[in-house]
Amino acid sequence: MTTELAPYLSFRDQARACLEFYASVLGGEATFSTFGEFGMSQDAAERDLVMHGQLVTARGLKIMAADTPSTMEVTAPGGFSMSLFGGPEDEAEMRGFFEGLLEGGTQTVPLEKAPWGDTFGMLVDRFGVPWMVNIGGAPDEG
């Protein structure tokens, strides 16, 4: 098995909506296991919360997420950003990702040419997750 690294997002009750939104933007199919499926919730109102959710795209992007029962504290990490990056050949796709993730969110840095030569932008999506998108510049000729 190949070693992988994937972000794991924590929510009170938005993991399903978040991963379904990311699937609509990034592609792929989200899968979910609920607390109720594994007998992990005494509270009927929380049985349908996501114990583990995962999105895997055809390009190999992977994001995981879970809800947090009311008996536990939600611990949203600080100081992180999701980062999407690609080369000039990926520009149309990357711009589509940026615009899709921005729906219902807030743009913090416009997606435009940056001083280092790449196209770069930042946003916070509708779930409060910060994103950076970087599109590598065309290689120098000469």
Q: Is residue 139 very low, low, confident or very high in pLDDT (cuts 50, 70, 90)?
A: low
In angstroms, rounded to a whole number, what is the distance separating the alpha carbons of residues 89 and 118? 13
pLDDT on residue 75:
77
Q: How far apart are CA 96 and CA 23, in angstroms?
A: 13
CA–CA separation, 9 vs 63, rounded Å?
8
pLDDT tens digits along 94-117: 999 999 999 999 999 999 999 999
Position with higher pLDDT, 99 vs 72: 99
Of the candidates 98, 88, 81, 95, the one whose C-alpha atom is nearest the C-alpha of residue 138 is 88
pLDDT digits (tens, 9 = 90+) for 3-25: 888 999 999 999 999 999 999 99
Q: CA-CA distances (angstroms) from residue 129 to 20, 22, 93, 107, 117?
A: 14, 11, 20, 12, 26
Joined tokens for residue 66: 């879970």
**Close Cβ partners of 32 (under 8 Å, ≥ 6 residues apart):** 15, 16, 19, 50, 52, 53
Domains of the chain and any CATH numbers:
8-67 (3.10.180.10), 82-135 (3.30.720.110)
What is the DSSP code string of 85-110?
EE-GGGHHHHHHHHHHHHTTSEEEEE
Residue 23, Cβ density class (10 Å: 0-12 exposed, 13-18 middle, ≥19 buried): middle
Distance CA 101, CA 17 (A): 13
Residues in the chain, total: 142
Euclidean distance between CA atoms 116 and 119, whole angstroms? 9
pLDDT digits over 20-33, tens only?
999 999 999 999 99
User: What global pTM score does this model have?
Assistant: 0.89
